[in-house]
Amino acid sequence: MTREAHRSGFIAIIGRPNVGKSTLVNALLGQKVAAVSPRPQTTRRRQLGILTLENAQLVFVDTPGIHQPRHKLGEFLNFEAEEALDEVDIILWLVDASTQPTEDDTRISDLLNRTSLRSTRLLVLNKMDLVKPEDESARSEEYARLLNQAEAVKISATKKIGMDKLLERLVSLLPQRPPEYPEEQVTDSYERDIAADLIRESCLKILRDEVPHSLAVRVDEFKERENGMAYIAATIFVERESQKGIVIGEGGKMLKSIGSAARKEIEDMGGRKVFLEVRVKVAKDWRDNQNMLNQFGYIKRK
């Protein structure tokens, strides 16, 4: 009996904000490498999630949500997502099947239909657990009409329904070639970058609606101590003084809650104790300031 040829390739996961792209990556990998929150635009940079199986390696490219931009940061997020489509083997378009297609979904389908892409395209309908059985067929057809000649797969990333079928289909679509990364590697991001994302994720989960999108996090220090602990000093940037007060909270309670939640997530990720020190600063209108965007690493690669 001959051994099955090894398959390997890159899979870009695109979709509008808050459809579950990062949740899907984490579910497929069986561990957390991407920040997740109930609020849109949690992901701000492309990040790789690497899944190595016996006869295949799947390199998932998690991207920011494509949307109508309102500032330079929004333009960067769209650029990051669209750039990911250039040199991948599969484009996985993830949609929220619990709602009808939106303007952002149409924007994405127009991009995929008009762009001359060599990649295989797969339509994945997420959150199927929230769709009434009598609505499944009509909802699937609504999204299928948006993308020419696309195969559809139904899943629920949070409930981990349909994941085996999706994984099996993705492996079958990959080209036959050796793995791109070592077996033990699960992401291309450094631990300090993931820590910054996890701090921002904690902000998104805890804070009021008017603050989260105005937040940026910079890790100022990341040191390994002799006792095995990690020391992390980070700054949360907001756009207005009023937002700074909200993030800090009465008597510093809000900032303490954010720090505690983030510290636990970082400890779970790294498997060791963490001492986390967080402060808050104002950087007025940073989302439209290219110099500030550059400082935070939001730099176009082309």
Interhelix angle 253-270/241-248, nearest 10 degrees? 70
CA distance 62 to 25: 7
Indicate the CATH number of 7-173 among 3.30.360.10, 3.20.10.10, 1.10.1040.10, 3.40.50.300.
Answer: 3.40.50.300
- What distance in Å separates the CA atoms of residue 158 and residue 167, rounded to the nearest whole number? 15
Please report, in tens digits, the pLDDT of each residue of the chain (302 residues total). Answer: 345 789 999 999 999 988 998 889 989 988 766 655 555 555 556 678 899 999 999 999 888 878 777 778 888 777 777 787 888 999 999 999 999 999 999 999 988 887 666 788 999 999 999 999 999 999 999 999 999 877 899 999 999 999 999 999 999 999 999 999 998 888 877 788 888 889 988 998 898 666 767 889 999 999 988 788 899 999 999 999 999 999 999 999 999 999 999 999 999 877 889 999 999 999 999 999 888 888 887 777 65
Assign a CATH topology to domain 191-295: GMP Synthetase; Chain A, domain 3 (3.30.300)
Q: How many CB atoms lie within 10 A of CB 281?
A: 11
- The residues of the chain that CATH labels 3.40.50.300 are 7-173
Which residues, 6 or more positions from 137, have their beta carbon under 8 angstroms from its beta carbon? none
